[in-house]
Structure 1
Amino acid sequence: MRDYILPIPELKKIEPILTEYFGYKRAIFENELSATYYHEYPNGISEDICKNYMTDYSFLNTIAVDNGVFDYKRYAPKSTSISKAFNPSSFIMDSEHNILITLPSNNLLERLIDLLQKHGETDNDGVIGISLLVVAAIYEKYKNGELYTEVVISENTLPYLKQVRPEMLELYELLNTKRYSPSKKKELRVFSPITIDNGVKKITLDNSCYWLTDLLDNYLHIYLGVNSLEEAQQELKEVYSQKKGRKANNAAHNLIMYGTFHLLQRYSSIKTKSEQIRMTLDYMELLFEAGSFNNDENYTNATIAYLVKQGYKPQWKTKQTEDYNFSPNNQSTEHLW
């Protein structure tokens, strides 16, 4: 059956593992947890118990006013008030009840058991089997566009990611490409002169006192948020160039590949790295369409090493935004540029 009854204590047991390796957040199963609560407690619970499961919700006391891209009020802390409300999901996670999760196929559970047996995985404490089962349910939500993520989509999101951000990266690259200075005997950033041509008129600016480059540096720090020329060039190559660099077919492949391998490294009875990689690929074949990802062991090993080197942190994103980056320095979800 596609629906699987998952005991809540089992989910709670593996939450730290899912969080570390698969970018799990409890809100992913918010609907399932709430459904269990309202099914088991149709009349609610006592106020005395409710008091132990209250969650703080903050809201602004004033309406934000936007006066431009460098307006400090966009980012300055605003006065907020706190309201408390009962959190049924938090309460139900402390219970012995079950939630109903949906798997990608009717025989996924049987195929997963066969996979464990094929690789001689004993999984004595059940951590691997339950974790991979839950990840399959998360991926099913992702495929159906039902997955909770922290990325807020606005009307400006896709234009920023697909059109504005690559131009910002090119501007950052231009500003930070250095030229050798014979007098200083080292490479330096080129601050002047700067020529601007709009097709009608062309002007050359001396950039006196670095007023223009300082302005652009500050702007890109907020709205682009890269830390080096190498980082900008890498993003241009991997995300925006016609011939992209090393990356999996999509971010979900990366996340599940990375998480499964590290789960096996930590908890599996399988000791060799090559066998752990092979089992990782076999698990991916349960979830993904044939031919949709590279199942070569050497390629997978190199890709995992690359992700580790880049400081990869598993995080689920919507399908629309999964291949792109946002500025970590811009706290606004509305003003992306």
Structure 2
Amino acid sequence: MSLCFYGEATFFIFVTKFENMEYQIIPINTIKRIESWLNSEVGFSRSMFHNELDYISDVYLLGNKFPIEIQDLYLSIKKEEQEIPYPNCGTDEDKYEFSMTVGQNLVLESGNFKAEYIETLWNTYNKNEDEAYEQQDQDVFYAILLIISIYYKYTQTNGYFDFEDYIADPTQLKYSYSVRPDMLRLYKMFHEKKKTKSNIVTIEYNKQKIELTNDDSWFLNMITPYLDKYLGVSTLEEAETELDKDYPSIGKRGRKRENAILDTITLSIYNLLRHSSFAAKGKGLTDNEGNFILELLKYLKLIDEDSPKNDILNLRATIRNLQKYEVRPNWWKIPMCKMSPNNPVEHLKSYW
């Protein structure tokens, strides 16, 4: 369905410009309506916009210290209209929920990327005029603007979003990249229910090798509670999923992922378009969908005009491959570990 940016519109896209910066203003009700899609199909988490959501709560709590125009832009509920307790002692998720409750719009920087251009692409390639898709097309379009803003923030923060001070800490990096995968492999080995004729455990370290008789499984009984506690996973399936997703073995994923962020954006846009009037029921990627995605990727400077990736057949093969190997969009710079005593920051837990 065609979208109209100005005048009598199917829906309006609010865009603010300030000092050569584009700002996308995404209605919070839209995010709530499709958040399940965003979480599972785009890799979105509210923590990506920790500071922006925190600002909404500031506007609510400080009220009249902000101009009325700012309050109207950011808030659906003003403090003088309804007093809602702020969760001072709550988790970050509790605070995000507070902002989503009192908030009207999420205001996001998008660099030089303009909603008007995305709208032009949409109207160029979407020829379906089925009015039954009006609401979903509106939601999907806003979601695409959200992805553009996520990508811009990704480029500005190197994939750390608002948590660089924590997740770029050398100790945390060592834990995330080295210690945790070792612990996950141990967890997997000791929790797999395989028949064995012997309880012997062999340890090789510093050019020495010893065998433990492990009578009554004392070694396993000692180490498994430690792994249970300090990994924060509760089942073998969880450990296997994390190993497969965040620490895949060389060659295990099939096609080498040369540009993970390109894969993330390609898959995210494709997944969203499947909910719109772009998609042909019961069919794979259409030419119009493909052209829209390719033009958008070129606009974001993720592919070049003369790139072999600028081809619908290549795009179809890429999407099939990503689906085959169950690749999921992931925007974060480092693996998002489960919450545990070794990784106590709740807003960094994985979204799976």
TM-score range, shorter chain: 0.5 to 0.7
Residue in structure 2 matching 1:40, options 46, 67, 87: 67
Partners of 2:264 and 2:330 within 8 A in 1: yes
| C-alpha displacement of 1:190 | 6.1
Looking at structure 1, the residues matched to 206 and 341 of structure 2 have their Cα atoms a distance apart, in angstroms, of 35
Partner of 1:135 in structure 2?
Answer: 147
Looking at structure 1, the residues matched to 331 and 273 of structure 2 have their Cα atoms a distance apart, in angstroms, of 20
Partner of 2:178 in structure 1?
Answer: 163
Q: Percent identity?
A: 19
In the superposition, relative to structure 1, how do residues 118 and 32 fare at CA in structure 2: closer, same or farther (>3 Å)? farther
Partner of 1:13 in structure 2?
Answer: 30
**Residue aligned with 1:58, SS:** coil
Partners of 1:193 and 1:207 within 8 A in 2: yes
1:273 is aligned to 2:305: no
Looking at structure 2, the residues matched to 42 and 296 of structure 1 have their Cα atoms a distance apart, in angstroms, of 44
Partner of 2:103 in structure 1?
Answer: 93
Partner of 2:122 in structure 1?
Answer: 116
Partners of 1:141 and 1:147 within 8 A in 2: yes
**Residue aligned with 1:267, SS:** coil
Q: Across the two proteins, how many residue pairs are aligned to each other?
A: 287
**Residue aligned with 2:86, SS:** strand
| C-alpha displacement of 1:262 | 2.6
Partners of 1:274 and 1:297 within 8 A in 2: yes
| C-alpha displacement of 1:246 | 4.1
TM-score (structure 2 length as normaliser): 0.62
Looking at structure 2, the residues matched to 121 and 35 of structure 1 have their Cα atoms a distance apart, in angstroms, of 43
Partners of 1:4 and 1:100 within 8 A in 2: no
| C-alpha displacement of 1:174 | 4.9
**Residue aligned with 1:195, SS:** strand
Partner of 1:214 in structure 2?
Answer: 221
Looking at structure 2, the residues matched to 214 and 118 of structure 1 have their Cα atoms a distance apart, in angstroms, of 63
**Residue aligned with 2:303, SS:** coil
| C-alpha displacement of 1:249 | 4.7
1:144 is aligned to 2:148: no
Partners of 2:24 and 2:145 within 8 A in 1: no
**Residue aligned with 1:203, SS:** strand
Partner of 2:14 in structure 1?
Answer: none
What RMSD over aligned residues (CA atoms) do the two structures have, in Å? Answer: 4.6
| C-alpha displacement of 1:333 | 2.3
Where in structure 2 are there 5+ consecutive unaligned residues? 1-16, 72-76, 346-352
* Larger-Rg structure: 1
Structure with bigger helix share is 2
TM-score (structure 1 length as normaliser): 0.64
| C-alpha displacement of 1:59 | 7.0
| C-alpha displacement of 1:268 | 2.4
